[in-house]
Amino acid sequence: MTMSDSTRTILGLTADQFAQVKESDERCSRACAQMDDGAMGRMDDAAMTAHDADMKRILTAEQYAKWSTMCNTSKAENGSPSAPRN
């Protein structure tokens, strides 16, 4: 889940947290975009695992719980197989 300004507000991120999350989002997006099998929206498992570890490091426990719930809800609604590894 890419961090939007509204998600930033919901989670109550500091400017520093937001910058770190955006950086992690970009790394993950680049890794997933490099997948060569043509599957639209397919996620690279290693990139997603690394992104989840980044989020656990960057966010407070409360923020991470909210973020994880938001991601899982979004993925369930969109039928995406990837989800944060709680």
The confidence score (pLDDT) of residue 85 equals: 46
> In this structure, how many other beta carbons lie within 10 angstroms of the beta carbon of residue 56?
15
pLDDT at 40: 47
Structure token pair of residue 27: 């790394």
Q: What percent of the chain has pLDDT over 70?
A: 76
Spatial separation of the C-alpha atoms in residues 58 and 55, rounded to whole Å: 5
Q: Within 12-86, where are the H helices?
A: 15-33, 45-58, 61-78
Query: Domain segments of the chain: what residues?
Result: 5-77
C-alpha to C-alpha distance for 45 and 35, rounded to whole angstroms: 11
Query: Measured between alpha carbons, how far is 2 from 20 in angstroms, rounded to an integer?
Result: 12
Q: What is the pLDDT of residue 34?
A: 77
Q: Closest Cα partner for 48 from 77, 9, 75?
A: 75
What pLDDT does residue 62 have? 97
Global confidence as pTM: 0.74
